[in-house]
Amino acid sequence: MNRYRWDIVRLSETHLPSPGIERINDITLITSGRSDGVHSQGVGFLLSKQAKQSLLTVHPVSERIITVRLKGTIA
């Protein structure tokens, strides 16, 4: 993310067993996975430090859908 100067990256097929938010160095990982502990499917987002500051809400809907609401302005 830092190399390409990306602030938000969408992930598919994360294969993580449950929804959650983790911090890895300066990057925040937000995931929505299966609630039965099976390591399949799953989606998520990677947010830079700047994008994390704009995070308003996270709503994991299912193992295939997650919504993230960010504060921003229209230029």
Tens digit of pLDDT per residue, the chain (75 long)? 888 999 999 999 999 887 889 999 999 999 998 878 778 899 999 999 999 999 999 998 888 999 999 998 887
Instruction: Determine the distance from the C-alpha atom of residue 33 to the mean position of all C-alpha atoms in its chain, rounded to a whole number.
Output: 11
Name residues whose C-beta falls within 8 Å of residue 32's C-beta, 6 or more positions apart in sequence: 19, 42, 43, 44, 60, 61, 62, 63, 65, 66
Q: Taking the model in full, what pTM does it have?
A: 0.83
pLDDT at position 35 is 78
Cross-strand partners of 51: none
